[in-house]
Structure 1
Amino acid sequence: MKLNEPVSQQVVGKYRWTICALLFFATTVNYLDRQVLSLLAPQLSKEFNWSNTDYANITAAFQFVYAVSMLFAGRVVDAIGTKKAYILAIVIWSLGAVMHAYSVPMGSAIGHVMGALGLAVVPASIAGFMLSRAVLAVGEAGNFPAAIKATAEYFPKKERSFATGIFNSGANVGAILAPLTVPPIALLWGWQAAFIAIGAIGFLWMVAWQVFYDPPEQQKRLGAAELAFIRSDAPAAAPAAPAGAKVPWFRLLGYRQTWAFAFGKFMTDGVWWFFLFWLPKYLSAQYGMGAADIVVPLAVLYSMTMFGSIGGGYFPAYFMNRGQSAYDGRMKAMLVIALFPLVVLLAQPMGGISPWVPILLIGVGASAHQAWSANLFTTVSDMFPQRTVASVVGIGGMAGGIGGVVLSKLGGWLFDYYGAQGQIGTGYMIMFTICAVAYLLAWGVMKALVPRHKEITDL
């Protein structure tokens, strides 16, 4: 059955797309909460006298804790199930988002404790925001392991990258909504109100998740024909594992497939986070744009990425419908996608024409990232049994988080170094070059590790 056969879709039912919609909205909330800080960064940097390195340290705190938490989040999702794990994750990250509003008093309390212990005292604003980002990271780490596992549960392999592309586009919608909502809220009621209002949205999503999600075999709204379609390309059943049995991390690390996914995440996750966390500061530093000025450019840029996510998720179907396996079709699609970020190399050289030139070129690169990400995530469910999917996604997520820390810290250092010399554009040129070539390098190593599709059946 092919993706372009609407009659068949009607016959088997469509409830799985309701689950996809829930994942889409969760990811939208995830990125709304994540981006509030970056949009307020120019204002907060002035108010608290942060350097680029200070801001890099705050963003790196999120990325480091996110990286570590991803490893454990995957295990939690596999252990307690998708439904409970998702609720736990969104409660924690929503609380973390709201905590940002109270970062300064929390930072002062941390400073008093550090002073009493004879330790060097970190400025209150920095310490408080780092703590808030850390709590946010712990919760947000659960989003993608849970979402990818839910996709593996509710979609056959031929539809998974498309479904992943749809829910992953929630990241772009969140990134579009954030500049449209955060600056006005901050202007009217203060920056603290922006964190509180956006952070509270996650609690509303939990109600819908509780009502509409259950595992497919327990889902009363799912017809027998649709369940059969979902399981239509599942491999022959392996010997049943004992109830609650866990696959050790070290065993998962023994497979090249795990390392291929992890390397792909390490090389490319930081690129997306660099765009997400640093674009407002880039537009401010290079073109003097204030909070009001960046709303339309960021909305346009992230609108582009939404098409990249959905289109990139559907792209492998072109190869699959011509006889390629799911993995081989995905890898061919990812090679084509990896070429598009090269246009980011032109962002700085052509920036003198108009600020819109780098905005649009970065938009192409960011769109390619989302197309890449939709397919990269799905390689896990192509090769691993369902009960290990979240754990492998967690391992890869940790690798991606570490890559994000490295790139964020490098960016902060480069921008302070070249900014002090009046040549901050050189720092951005170096960072854009890294972002442009990361995908081709990642694809080459992934292909070398797993040259042909090989499904793992001994777990």
Structure 2
Amino acid sequence: MQSTEPLEQPTLIGKYRWTICMLLFFATTINYLDRQVLSLLKPALELEFGWSNTDYANIASVFQFTYAVSMLFAGRIIDRLGTKSGYSWAIIIWSLAAMVHALAIPIGQSLVSLMAWVGIGAVSVSVAGFMFSRALLGLGEAGNFPAAIKATAEYFPKKERSLTTGIFNSGTTVGAILAPLTVPWIAVKWGWEAAFLGIGALGFIWLFFWLYAYEKPEKQKRLSAAERKYINEGQSVQATELKHSSIPWFKLLGYRQTWAFAFGKFMTDGVWWFFLFWLPAYLNDQYQMTGTAIMLPLAILYSMTMFGSIGGGWFPMYFIKRGFEPYDGRMKAMLLIAIIPLVVLAAQPLGQVSYWMPVLLIGIGASAHQAWSANIFTTVSDMFPAKAVGSVVGIGGMAGGLGGVLVTKLGGAIFDHYKSLGNIETGYTIMFAICSIAYLVAWTVMKWLVPRYKPVTDL
């Protein structure tokens, strides 16, 4: 006899947390749009102002150095201000800074005059102006990832964080795709100043939606009770523990987990920045491609990285579903990901066939970086309570920024050296080799520092 009892209906959890994820995605997209404008205009600005590769490396490394130092403080400031206010101030500062690039020449003239007045040896007007603008941009952009990771820790259970991080981190890819499709066209039609002004203004549009939509989960009226419960039950700490607690940096540096994250960022962040800042120059130096000619190759290359970002966020789930702790599953996935960039070693030899060969191979390597990035960020929320996440991400971000400075300065010096010898191809071969092996070195040291899952419980 068939039962007449009503079937139990599954509880609808709700999906508002994914609205927050989309906001993080769009902020990260804008972040990378603003960051990439200069690299796409490098060939034109280099011609207009007579820059060497070392000049460009100095401009780019000022951004990276300021970004690195600011990352250390950004995490702490966001922990103190809270995610909503901290993210708001970050995007206001970096959007204004992106627009300030349009005034680089008058700013540079003022700086050179000031330096001459105090008796300091001055750089050229254009270099001084762009260095100032990049420093200001680095100051603001440093807030993006600490704020996004903190928002992820607040709104998502641990089992969903790598996927969430992969989704919002794919904004770096979308920004990198949109930039070559828009920046050269804007510059050709209205001038390079308009490119900085137009792209920089996008942040203020995002700010309106962020202020409207974001509140802490315990105060968020748009969350259903079921979704709030789902979030809280899947947290490593209760919502009440998400309040700021002043944790000294030196105390955080006493944990091997902090050093593992910081070393992984130091070794690998510079690789992505090298691909971001130098690929337009590479296509120009080796294949004489400029302006709108680089739009399609770069758009395809960066489109490939989106698969890495989202796929990398999903990959650890394969191991986690088989009983591994989240950290252990992530490390297994990261080892396999670390092997993939070795394909970049073939970029230069096969580049003699067609420029599409290095574009596709570098695209694979950059895609692996995005997969790596989605996972290395999530190791922090795996092992640290949410109240420390922003600060630890800031420490790692500083390490990554310093690694980026090293790679950028090294690249500029190597390219100028081999360009003077009439063999700049060798310079790119050396840099591609460094980028290829960085992930295996990073993974080995991270595994040595934290061989097994060990959450920090005494903060």
TM-score of the aligned structures, taking structure 2 as reference length: 0.96
- Structure-2 residue corresponding to 1:91: 92
Q: How does 1:33-432 map to 2 (within 5 A)?
A: 33-235=34-236, 244-432=244-432
- Structure-2 residue corresponding to 1:14: 15
1:423 to partner: Cα distance? 1.0
Deviation string, structure 1 residues 87-108 (Cα, Å, up to 9, x no partner): 0000000010000000011000
Gaps of 5+ in 1: 1-7
Alpha-carbon distance in 1 for matches of 2:216, 2:238: 18
Alpha-carbon distance in 2 for matches of 1:236, 1:214: 18
Alignment partner of 1:11: what SS?
A: coil
1:293 to partner: Cα distance? 1.0
TM-score of the aligned structures, taking structure 1 as reference length: 0.96
1:81 to partner: Cα distance? 0.2
1:186 to partner: Cα distance? 0.5
Alignment partner of 2:22: what SS?
A: helix
Alpha-carbon distance in 1 for matches of 2:366, 2:448: 25
Alignment partner of 2:453: what SS?
A: coil
1:122 to partner: Cα distance? 1.3
Alignment partner of 1:347: what SS?
A: helix
Which residue type is aligned with residue 335 of structure 1? L
Alpha-carbon distance in 1 for matches of 2:343, 2:10: 38
1:363 to partner: Cα distance? 0.1
Which residue type is aligned with residue 398 of structure 2? M
Say if 1:9 and 1:353 are closer, same or farther in 2 by CA, change over 3 A.
farther
CA contact 2:67–2:401 (8 Å) conserved in 1: yes
1:292 to partner: Cα distance? 1.3
Alpha-carbon distance in 1 for matches of 2:245, 2:335: 37
- Structure-2 residue corresponding to 1:433: 433
- Structure-1 residue corresponding to 2:28: 27
Say if 1:238 and 1:138 are closer, same or farther in 2 by CA, change over 3 A.
closer
Say if 1:410 and 1:236 are closer, same or farther in 2 by CA, change over 3 A.
closer
CA contact 2:11–2:226 (8 Å) conserved in 1: no
Alpha-carbon distance in 1 for matches of 2:21, 2:239: 27
Deviation string, structure 1 residues 214-262 (Cα, Å, up to 9, x no partner): 0011100111111121122334669969x75300000000000000000
- Structure-2 residue corresponding to 1:5: none
- Structure-1 residue corresponding to 2:5: none
1:457 to partner: Cα distance? 1.1
Alpha-carbon distance in 2 for matches of 1:341, 1:11: 41
Alpha-carbon distance in 1 for matches of 2:234, 2:160: 11
Say if 1:198 and 1:10 are closer, same or farther in 2 by CA, change over 3 A.
farther
How many residues were matched structurally? 451
Alpha-carbon distance in 2 for matches of 1:236, 1:81: 17
1:389 to partner: Cα distance? 0.2
Which residue type is aligned with residue 449 of structure 1? L
Alpha-carbon distance in 1 for matches of 2:292, 2:190: 15
Alpha-carbon distance in 1 for matches of 2:403, 2:235: 33
1:194 to partner: Cα distance? 0.4
Alpha-carbon distance in 1 for matches of 2:241, 2:441: 38
Alpha-carbon distance in 2 for matches of 1:431, 1:113: 37
- Structure-2 residue corresponding to 1:456: 456
Alpha-carbon distance in 2 for matches of 1:378, 1:65: 24
Say if 1:68 and 1:236 are closer, same or farther in 2 by CA, change over 3 A.
closer
Deviation string, structure 1 residues 394-429 (Cα, Å, up to 9, x no partner): 000000000000000000000000110011111111
Deviation string, structure 1 residues 309-349 (Cα, Å, up to 9, x no partner): 00110111001111111101100110010011000000011
CA contact 1:238–1:458 (8 Å) conserved in 2: no
Alpha-carbon distance in 2 for matches of 1:386, 1:252: 13
Which residue type is aligned with residue 438 of structure 2? A
Alpha-carbon distance in 1 for matches of 2:244, 2:434: 42
Paired-residue identity, %: 67
CA contact 2:97–2:136 (8 Å) conserved in 1: yes
CA contact 1:238–1:457 (8 Å) conserved in 2: no
Alpha-carbon distance in 1 for matches of 2:239, 2:188: 58
RMSD across aligned C-alpha pairs, in angstroms? 1.4
Alpha-carbon distance in 1 for matches of 2:239, 2:110: 54
Which residue type is aligned with residue 406 of structure 2? V
Which residue type is aligned with residue 212 of structure 2? V
Say if 1:9 and 1:317 are closer, same or farther in 2 by CA, change over 3 A.
farther
Alignment partner of 1:221: what SS?
A: coil
Say if 1:223 and 1:295 are closer, same or farther in 2 by CA, change over 3 A.
same
